[in-house]
Amino acid sequence: MPPFKPVLLEAVGVPDGHTLASYRSRGGYAPVERLLTEKQPADVVEMVKASGLRGRGGAGFSTGLKWTFLPKDHPGPIYLCINADESEPGTFNNRILMEDDPHQVLEGIILSAFATRASTAYIYLRYEYPRSWHRLQAAIDEAYAAGLLGKNIKGSGFSLDVYLHRGAAAYICGEETGLIESLEGKRAWPRIKPPFPAIEGLFRKPTVVNNIETMACVAQIARRGVDWFKSIGVPADPNNPRDPGSYGPKLYCLSGHVERPGCYEAALGITARQLIDEYGGGVWKGRKAKAVIPGGISMGLMTEAELDTPLDFAGPGKVGCLGLGTAAVVVIDETTSIVDFLHNSCRFFAHESCGQCTPCREGTSWSLRMLERIKAGKGRLKDLDLLAEIGATMGMMPGSTICGLADGAAWPIKNAIKKFRGEFEDHIKRTNPHGWMVTDPVPALQIVGAHH
Partner 1 sequence: MPTVIVDGKEIEIGADERLNCIEAARRAGKEIPHYCWHPGLSVVASCRMCLIETGQRDAATGKVTMMPKLVPGCQTPVKDGTVIVTESQLVKDSRARVEEALLIDHPIDCPICDKAGECLLQDYHFQHGQAERRADLHPFTSRRRDVGPTVTLFVDRCIMCTRCVRFTREVSGTAELMVTSRGAKEEIDVFPGHPLDNKLSGNVVDLCPVGALGDKDFLYQQRVWFMKREANVCGGCSAGCSIHTEHNQDTVYRLKPRENPHVNKWWICDDGRYGWHHIHDASRLVGAGRAAATGRRGTPAFDDVEWHDVAQRLRADLAQAGRLAVAVSPMLTVEEAWMLCAVARSIDPEAFLAVGHVPREGDDETFPGGFTIRAEKCPNRLGVEAVVALFDPAVPGWDRLVEHVRAGRAGAAWVTGGYTSAWIDDDTAAAFGDLRCLVVQDLFDSPLARLATWRLPAAGFAERAGTWVNVGHRAQCFEQAVRPPAGVWPEGRLYWNMLGRRGLYDPSAVRRQIAESSAAFAALSGDVPANGIDLRIGQLA
Partner 2 sequence: MIAHRKILTDEMVAKIEALAPRYPNRRALTLPALHIVNAELRHVPLEAVAEIAAVLGLAPAEVQDTLTFYQFFHQEKPHGKVRAFVCRSVSCALRGGDHLLEHLCHANGIDPYGTTPDGELTIEPAECLGACDFAPCILANDDLLKNMTPEAAAAALKQPRAKAT
Residues lying near partner 1 in the complex (CB under 8 A): 170, 187, 189, 192, 350-359, 361-366, 369, 373, 386, 393, 397-402, 441-442, 444, 446-452
From 361, 359, 357, 351, select the one nearest 389 (Cα to Cα): 359
Angle at 268 between CA 113 and CA 63, to 5 degrees: 25
Determine which residue in the list 279, 348, 411, 436 makes contact with partner 2, applying CB under 8 A. Answer: 348
Min. distance of Cβ 451 from partner 1 in angstroms? Answer: 5
- C-alpha 85/C-alpha 169 separation (Å) is 9
Cβ contact 330:90 at 8 Å: yes
Considering only residues 27 to 66 of the shown chain, the ones binding partner 2 according to CB under 8 A are: none
If the CB atoms of residues 226 and 299 are measured against partner 2, the closer one turns out to be: 299
Give how far the C-alpha of residue 288 lies from the chain's centroid of Cα atoms, to the nearest Å: 27
- Which residue from 35, 81, 216, 253 is in contact with partner 2, where contact means CB under 8 A? 253
Q: What is the smallest separation between the CB atom of 437 and partner 2, expressed in angstroms?
A: 30
- As measured in angstroms, the least distance from the Cβ of 357 to partner 1 is 5
CA-CA distance, 441 to 85, in Å (whole number)?
Answer: 42
94, 210, 246, 274: residue in contact with partner 2 (rule CB under 8 A): 94
Axis-axis angle for helices 405-419, 421-431 (nearest 10): 80
Please check whether residue 177 is in contact with residue 171, taking contact to mean a CB–CB distance below 8 angstroms. no
Binding of residue 186 to partner 2 (CB under 8 A): yes
* Contact (CB, 8 A) for 206 and 99: no
Instruction: For residue 262, list its beta bridge partners.
Output: 254
- Strand order of the β-sheet with 289-293 is 262-267, 249-256, 328-333, 289-293, 302-303
Residue 192 site contact among partner 1, partner 2, none (CB < 5 to 8 Å, cut-off depends on kind): partner 1
Q: Give the type of residue at 288.
A: K
Residue 328 binds: one of partner 2, partner 1, none (C-beta under 5 to 8 A by kind) = partner 2
Residue closer to partner 2 by CB (options 68, 336) is 336
Binding residues vs partner 2 (CB under 8 A):
77, 86-92, 94-95, 120, 126-131, 133-134, 161, 163, 165-171, 182-188, 203, 253, 255-257, 261-263, 293, 297, 328, 330-332, 336, 340-341, 344-345, 347-348, 351-352, 354
